Structure 1
């Protein structure tokens, strides 16, 4: 374990490191620790003496999506809804949702006097499966010029970072089931569960996931637990082309005290809590999910065209990170796509093993599922190897070079341990 300790210590060294704090936890299919470590500070300030711990509450952003996907399958197991049921019949806010195809004035800048948006009705249902796999037509408004123009035209006051469901309410950008776009579908999946159960999505997760797992620090509402902003791991921000050590305190884009339980990005958790969920998944699903539902969670879900749109997103210059792609430490710091991935219900799933030049297993095996979180968090579950892990930090902007390098080093060192123990 000394190699993993050294990696964390090196990247969080107060004078020469590039992260103020980081945690890494890995467990096996028997629920036993392979590694559990943390290094660095809770705050960016070099003079701070408060150390980061495995129980420090942290905004986990899109690592919330895995928890929401698990929640959806729990609701399906309970017989509350089917994956292919039309959610517009469940959530009144979605009854009149439409698809935007353009504006009457073409591509002009939004503003007073511009033409109206061109809208059409969906050609078919909007299903729970589509919401979870990003094929419903929803797209994050901050990342789509057409939705940005629509927001100005409609006078929208809320957006994807408002902490409200209204921030996720806007037209679809394509007909449901015909393409792929990263967006707030999982926020709406949480609203579906709220409508079906009559309780908040936070309460549903406490009753069906965190409670059974004995995880006590994970919630959408840390303020209601008596926490303050100072209790949360501080976000560090790095300027473009700045030295690795040039880190300054940053402001989180997510409101600490938000109004709604938003399943796409709203959870606050700890490394210890989150790995309780990963341990349940890598061990077969118990006590929260059946083996059949776990198989459904991890299998490829969408068609060839939608998968192609997904791969264009995750391999773009701004998103070519650990969502299935390996950081190579060549002189020009290029990303190298080293494996085929598909969209599953909880993120991406490998279509092949990740092997080294000699054909030996180095990292994730075929069938591994993974995703990450905006401030450079990461999780994966490799059921074939019987290993699951999560990396916690708080660094912006997304796809920070140092964070991706440390994730790669940690994972490679972890698999040297796993492969040695299993003689793979």
Structure 2
């Protein structure tokens, strides 16, 4: 790992400063087998360094969404819902909308869009595999349809603990189970957990995931946990050849975790006996969900740009050998460029965090930093250097 460490350390020196700071970890079923930290905690002149003893926290963004998925699978284990039953009784807003599509019929010029009733209900499996057909209002097709209907752009609907009937109007983009789209399924999964358990998502996860694993430096409510928030690595953004501080409020942070906490979670998920999930649900985090002939698998394999970075694949790759588990992306063939082996489950987060797990190999790793924009070229190069050498060294 010496080459990676030298490359990362140089990038984080004040003279170069391609990155402010970063932590890279590798764990197996027993615990942490590799931990490297370098750089500085803030852009200030008197900043403390990022070192092995720095218990820094990180805004996880999308890299932490799989934790919500674990919470949903716990609801299955508790008998509150099953993977393949309709979620509409808990999320009745979904009954209010149909499937939006372009009209290919003879009246297409007069009626360029069609909204049809859905023929099947959304299940939890659909939500966790992002095959529900639900997306945000920012979807180009939805925006085009709104314009045609003479409607003002609508704000995204964020379902809460209680249903707000007649407030949700964003149509499905395809029949549930008949496509793949990394969109708003996570919002509805979070609402499902809250409504089933009667707790705010962050409260539920603290009690049922963080506490059992002694993840004491993780929170969904940073404004209520100033000590955890005070240790966050400063967010920066690339501005030409330099990096500059980002302005944000504590409320915008969402989930924040430390590297040590993420390591504890990975160890449990790789363990033969997880504290969080029974065996079949634990395995579902790693198992591909889409059959070879399914529309969902065809759709995900066409959307390489969405996941090229965590999968270690070229952005322009066509029909990428991937699938989706109930946690995240599944790489189904060895990737030569990044060294990622078949069977790896992986995803990333907007501030250029990347994680990967492999159940059979009993190995997981994470590259943690805080820099925008997402898929920043220099940061991705550093992350891929780590991932290549980590698989080669430990995998």
Report the counterpart of residue 364 of structure 1 in structure 2: 340
Report the counterpart of residue 174 of structure 2 in structure 1: 174
Give how far 1:145 is off: 4.5
Report the counterpart of residue 14 of structure 2 in structure 1: 14
SS of corresponding position for 1:213 = coil
Report the counterpart of residue 128 of structure 2 in structure 1: 132
Alignment partner of 1:346 is 2:345: no
Alignment of 1:117-128 (within 5 A): 118-128=114-124
- The CA distance in 1 between the partners of 2:108 and 2:48, in whole Å, is 51
1:296 to 269, 279, 284: 284
- The CA distance in 2 between the partners of 1:4 and 1:203, in whole Å, is 38
Alignment partner of 1:414 is 2:390: yes
Alignment partner of 1:275 is 2:256: no
Give how far 1:159 is off: 6.7
- The CA distance in 2 between the partners of 1:395 and 1:407, in whole Å, is 12
Q: Deviations over 1:347-387 (max 9, x none)?
A: 1112123458xxxxx83332111111111111110123221
- The CA distance in 2 between the partners of 1:321 and 1:339, in whole Å, is 9
Contiguous gaps of at least 5 residues in structure 2: none
Structure 1 vs Structure 2 CA RMSD: 3.4
Give how far 1:389 is off: 0.8
Alignment of 1:297-312 (within 5 A): 297-303=285-291, 304-312=294-302
Report the counterpart of residue 187 of structure 2 in structure 1: 187
Alignment partner of 1:256 is 2:243: no
1:324 to 302, 305, 311: 311
Q: Deviations over 1:284-334 (max 9, x none)?
A: 351112222121221111243212222222x23xx463232346xxxxxx8
Report the counterpart of residue 41 of structure 2 in structure 1: 42
Report the counterpart of residue 23 of structure 2 in structure 1: 23
Give how far 1:139 is off: 1.7
Scaled by the length of structure 2, the TM-score of the pair is 0.85
Report the counterpart of residue 218 of structure 1 in structure 2: 218
Q: How many residues align?
A: 382
Q: For the Cα contact (< 8 Å) 1:235–1:395, is it kept in 2?
A: yes
Scaled by the length of structure 1, the TM-score of the pair is 0.80
Alignment partner of 1:374 is 2:350: yes
Report the counterpart of residue 359 of structure 1 in structure 2: none
Structure 2 CA distance for partners of 1:215 and 1:89, relative to 1, 3 Å: same
SS of corresponding position for 1:15 = coil
Structure 2 CA distance for partners of 1:383 and 1:169, relative to 1, 3 Å: farther
Give how far 1:149 is off: 5.8
SS of corresponding position for 2:188 = helix
